[in-house]
Every structure is written in C-alpha cells, then in structure tokens.
Structure 1
Amino acid sequence: MSAHESEWTLRRLSAGELTTTEAARVQAHAASCESCAQALRGIQAAQTRLEAEGPFGRFEAGVEQALRRQQDSARPPPRRWVATTVAIAASLLVVVLVRPLLGSSAESGAIEGLNRLKGGATAELLIGGGLGPQREAIPGRPEALDLGERVTVGYTAGTHRYVAALSVDAIGEVTPLFPEAGASAPVVPGSGQHWLPGGWEFTGSGAERVIVVLSDEPLPQETLVEAARRAFAQADGDVGRMAELEVPGAQTHWVLQKP
C-alpha cells in the first residue's frame, strides 16, 4: 500500500496549486485510498463553508471604523496649564488653559499596535466556519475565537516575492503554517489579493499569535521558527507582547484568543 498523502499536499490539490501531472497523481491516489479521500472531502467541505459565509473581500468600512476607534483611544488626555492673573479690583482670577500634548503618536498618524507593511503589501486574517458571521481580525487587537472557527489568511504581495506564515501559542510552541517545511513559498503570480490554501483551526486554550512574513528572498522556516522563539523569550513568555521577528521582510501579526 502506498503512503498517505500529506495534509499539505491535499490542501494544495484543493486550492488548485499542484501541477497538472501532480494533481492527477494525487487524485488517483485519493480515488483508491479512503483515508486520503476522506481527508480531502473534509478540507473541501471546510473551505466551502467558509467561502459561503461571505466573499473574501476587504471589509474596508469596518477596518476604517476600527482604526478610528483605536486612534481615538490612543489619543492622550489633554494637559491642563494653569496661569494666574490679578484683577484690577483686587480679586484673583485663575485662568485654566487647556492644551493637548504635542508630538504624540496619535497626532503623528501612528497607530499603536498596528503593523503597516512596506512595498505596497497588505495582509488580512478572516475568521469563519463557526456559528457567528465571518469577520476580519485587526492587527494589534486580540480577537476571541469560538469553538469550531477556522482562520484563513490572505495577502497582497506588492513588491515582495515570497510569503510564509507561522503561529506561536501561549507556551511558546511555534508551528509553521505555510509552508509546513522548507523555505517561504513564492507568492502567487499576478497583482491583487491571494489566499493561502486551506485554513486552520487552533486547538487548546490561551492566546495564539499568527504571523505572516512577506520577503524579497526565501526565508527557511527554521530561521522563522528560531526568530519567533527569540521574540517570545524577549517578551518574557507573553505571546501578546511579542515584538516583530528579527528577519528581513514585512510582517503582520494577529493575536487570537482560543476558547
């Protein structure tokens, strides 16, 4: 009996990313292997459910509202400057001058916790497959997951040529998501938004940080995993406080709270 196909290969088959020859080989194997056929049906069913909940468009209005709320919350309270003047009629008046702080991140246009990608690149993470509606997670804002929900990651490569994704859980375990081994994969040719094949359902409890790295050169997953471990250690084991990985390229981070 031949060996079973990996989940990664079955996901690539479902996403139409295999060559014609390779796709024919995997389909022939799945036709004669009930275990692989069942796994392939599960992948296709999960993807169908996720896509049926709504198009993979960018929720621009919702994102803009979320960013405005975050910017408003980041704006510092006004500082009060007190000066006194002496009235001619021998009475003392206290004049309170209200002046906002200058040079704050809110006034300079920076939004704390939000990763901005360079080179015209963007990335987004959609959550769906559960009982609630499909929604988009905002970088820098923890997003709670419900039981059975899956995440799908999309990107616009801009000038970058390679993409990789990984996750870090609350105890510092790092899992390569895409690709599962080797080096970061070439981006899908063509402009516009593309989606990583399949999706992921995170098990266990606690926080899970999902990271997408777009780069100009392929980065070995071993390099990304080690960089994530260092960032976790530098955050004193707090996955919610991790900084960007010390690797070349543009990054987007999301923090998900598992049920």
Structure 2
Amino acid sequence: MSAHESERTLRRLRAGELAAAEAARVQAHAATCDTCAQALRALEDAQARFDAGVERALERQRRQDAARPPPRRWMATSVAIAASVLVVVLVRPLLASGPASGVAEGLKRLSGGPAAELRIGGGLGPQREATPGTPEPLEPGERVMLGYRAGTHRYVAALSVDAIGEVTPLHPEAGASAPVEPGIAQQWLPGGWELTGSGAERVVLVLSDEPLPVDTLVEAARRAFVKADGEVTRMAPLEVPGEQTHWVLLKP
C-alpha cells in the first residue's frame, strides 16, 4: 500500500465525494503527512484561483468581443478558466521520451514524475479534463487551460495544429521554451484559450531539459502534419527532444 494518498483520492476529498468515514481518515492522514498536505493545498489553491478569476475573465472577454473580432484562432482569456462545480480530473502521464514513442501507460501522482493536463471549462457544463489520445468534443464558448508537473525538466512549451495544418504557438508565442520550477507541484500556463473555427485541433505540450526554439517546434509540428497526410488526428509525436502530451479537440 502506498505511504501517501493518491491524487484521485485527494481530489475526491476536495469534491466531497468520499464517504464520511473515508473522508475523516484521509483528512487525518493529510494532517500528519507533509507530502499529502502539500498536494491538498495545491488543489485548494488552484481551485481558489479559478473561482477568483472566472468573473473577471468572462467580463474581459465580453468587452473584447464587443470591441473587435478575435485577433487569432486562439483567444487568450488572460486568467485561469473555472467552472462552478469541481469534478474529479486526473493528471495524465506524458508521452515517453523520443520522437517515435507512444503514449506511456500508468499514472504518476505524488511521485514527482512529469505529467500534464488539459482542462476544459467556461461553458454551460462542469469543468472536465481531456484525455490524451481520445478526441474530445468542445461546446461553443468553452476554453482550455494547460497544466503540468515538470518533474526534473526545466522548460515547457505548448502549441496547436488545426485541421488545415496551421501551427499556432501557445506558450510562449516566440523565442524559446519557457523556464519552469521543477518539482511535484502542479503548475498552470498563464491564461487560457478559446479555439475558434471548426474541425479537429491538436494541442501539444512539451517538457524538456534544454530550451527549444519556438520556430523549431513549429517546423516539427508541420513535418508531423505532412507525414500524417494532412490528418491532424493521426499525427505522430514531434521530432524534438523531451517529453510530450498530445490532445485532440473537436471544435463545434
């Protein structure tokens, strides 16, 4: 048996989904275990940031929409997305290292290993997580937020590829991969995004030990799109060093 509570158990405790006896046991454990207490505080802090920012994000988006059309396919909301109901979402493992790797199996929770998450919210329904490798339909007006746990990696970057092969750097938009704070704590890329247009779109998050030029990542994504015969849903991992997570989102 693990010495620590699983992340899923801690999330269920936060969501009020545990039976009273189980909730009391987990709370008692977290009170004496620094690792689990830290993980529980991180979940609480993340939700608090979501709750504090959602009204400002929606109001800012309404003002932007009224003033001008979207400047690009992805529109930054400048704050974290949120939903009124917290649902159980799991941090999924990254793709294994190397350009020819497939999706890694298993789930790395409190071990400190690298992991990534794409969370969807801002629509009429509750917040939810997209599963890597499984196309996830989006509803009109929904936004996405990207989270990660860096482990020993030191840099992070994210981009998207749409159905016609257009590549959009998400974070950072230029330069090279952004530095991260390594460790077990869950981190979130600043802001969130709303996809516009329709059809499939692939989102890729890359953790690496050295900074990767954004131009290099964009070119690698274009090559992967061409090798997939223009099928964004069939793209292979990018030919860049580091660890990757891929999600496919289906825009309305």
- Structure 1 position 45, deviation (Å): 7.7
SS of equivalent residue, structure 2 residue 82: helix
Residue among 196, 205, 216 paired with 1:203 = 196
Q: Which has the higher contact order (CA 8 A, sep 6+)?
A: 2
- Structure 1 position 190, deviation (Å): 4.9
TM-score by length of 1: 0.59
SS of equivalent residue, structure 2 residue 218: helix
- Look up the match of 2:250: 257
Residue among 172, 177, 180 paired with 1:179 = 172
Q: Match of 1:236, as an amino acid?
A: D
- Look up the match of 1:193: 186
Residue among 89, 95, 106 paired with 1:59 = 89
Where structure 1 has 5 or more consecutive residues not aligned to the other structure, the ranges are 1-14, 16-34, 68-111
SS of equivalent residue, structure 2 residue 240: coil
- Look up the match of 1:226: 219
Number of aligned pairs?
A: 172
- Look up the match of 1:85: none
> 1:89-108 maps to which residues of 2 (within 5 A)?
none
> 1:1-259 maps to which residues of 2 (within 5 A)?
47=79, 50-54=81-85, 59-60=89-90, 114-115=103-104, 120-188=113-181, 190-259=183-252
Where structure 2 has 5 or more consecutive residues not aligned to the other structure, the ranges are 1-48, 50-59, 65-74, 94-100
- Structure 1 position 114, deviation (Å): 3.5
Sequence identity percentage? 69
Q: Deviations over 1:89-145 (max 9, x none)?
A: xxxxxxxxxxxxxxxxxxxxxxx9735699820000000001111100000000000
SS of equivalent residue, structure 1 residue 233: helix
Q: Match of 2:121, as an amino acid?
A: G
State how far apart, in whole Å, the 1-side matches of 2:180 and 2:78 are: 23
Larger Rg: 1
TM-score by length of 2: 0.61
- Structure 1 position 242, deviation (Å): 0.1
Report the RMSD for the aligned CA atoms in angstroms: 3.2
Q: Is the 8 A contact 2:149 2:182 kept in 1?
A: no
